[in-house]
Amino acid sequence: MNARKVSSASQLAWQLSLLLSLMVLAGALLGSEGWAVSSLQADIALMTDIRLPRTLGACLAGALLGLAGAVAQGLFRNPLADPYLLGSASGASLGALSLMLSWGVQHTLRLLLAGVVVGVVLGAIASLLLVMYPQIQGSVQSFMLGSTAYVSWSACGLMLSVLIVSGLVSYAASPLLDGLALGESTALSLGLPVKSLRWVLLAVLALCTAAAVAQTGLIAFVGLAAPHLVRARYKGIHGKTLSLSCLMGAVLLGGADLLARGLMAPLELPVGVLTAILGGGYMLYLMRGMSPKSSGGRGGRA
């Protein structure tokens, strides 16, 4: 049984890696006017300076959101948890406000509610600034709709660094997620340092989300859908699920970026709008197959 699961995980990883490689190649060839195959030499500077960093940036942001989504769903034992659950996207002061709101909090549900409060408060402050400075509405709209158009090589380097560090830390802490899947009391009985590892994974969740959002804006449903798509193919330990969710998130956002550029070229669609439409449709389809008992069982213990 274990051998079959490992084989399934390896097969899925190879499939996603191959698809990701093809997407990067396609992203380098797809310009604002369509495909540029006959003039590769003339477009080499355009590809290396604009198209490649944009494509790689979209994939890296998707990988960060996929990792954050897998961590959130495992940590809160809730299949509807997503990277924005703790208000990470609402501002850089998430850490300080979360610390004030949830200092000494032991229960996961109360910590989750504290994050919701953080998101509401910081969102209100952002709205106030928008009213006070209307000249920034264009930039804010681009941020809210999500865009990969301005991702540079330096942004790719930053996201890659965060992904490597967060991936290693979350993999080392993944036994906690396996233990929590059996219940918090079981995780404690196994000798896992639940409190300390929970804060480590919360830091990973906030860092991954903040790094992705800072470069691409608000991208909906990638972090929520990626772990679901992985679990549809592989049900095993979180150490592998986290890695596969990274790859799945990269494929989802990389593919969405290609569609946003190519569907109505030269008009470009906001990638966040596209992921919201496609991801929302997928989640509605997924919810049709969920019975009330199965959908409420795990979420009630978050």
Closest CA to 82 of 177, 239, 252, 224: 224
State whether residue 273 is helix, strand or coil.
Answer: helix
| 38 vs 185 pLDDT, higher one | 185
Q: In the predicted model, is pLDDT for residue 260 greater than 50?
A: yes
Class of domain 56-288: mainly alpha
Find which of 55-59, 92-96, 198-202 is predicted with most confidence, using mean pLDDT: 55-59
Instruction: List the structure tokens of 162.
Output: 């965060």
pLDDT at 139: 63
Residue 163 CA to residue 211 CA, distance in Å, equals 9
HSE at residue 168, side-chain half, CA atoms within 13 A, is 5
pLDDT at 274: 86
Chain centroid to CA 294? 24
Instruction: List the structure tokens of 253.
Output: 């956002």
Residue 46 CA to residue 48 CA, distance in Å, equals 6
Q: Mark 274-295 as b/e (b = at least 16 C-beta within 10 Å).
A: bbbebbeebeeeeeeeeeeeee
pLDDT in tens, 187-231: 888 888 888 888 899 899 989 998 998 888 888 889 988 998 998
State whether residue 30 is helix, strand or coil.
Answer: strand
pLDDT at 269: 83
pLDDT at 33: 62
Question: For the residues 179-189, what does the mean pLDDT come to?
Answer: 84
pLDDT at 46: 79
| 187 vs 255 pLDDT, higher one | 255
For the chain, what percentages of helix, strand and coil (3-state, to nearest 5) are there? 75, 0, 20
| 121 vs 226 pLDDT, higher one | 226
What is the identity of the amino acid at 149? A
What is the identity of the amino acid at 29? L
Sorting pLDDT into bands at 50, 70 and 90, what band is 99?
A: very low
Question: For the residues 160-178, what does the mean pLDDT come to?
Answer: 93
Closest CA to 67 of 240, 301, 256: 240
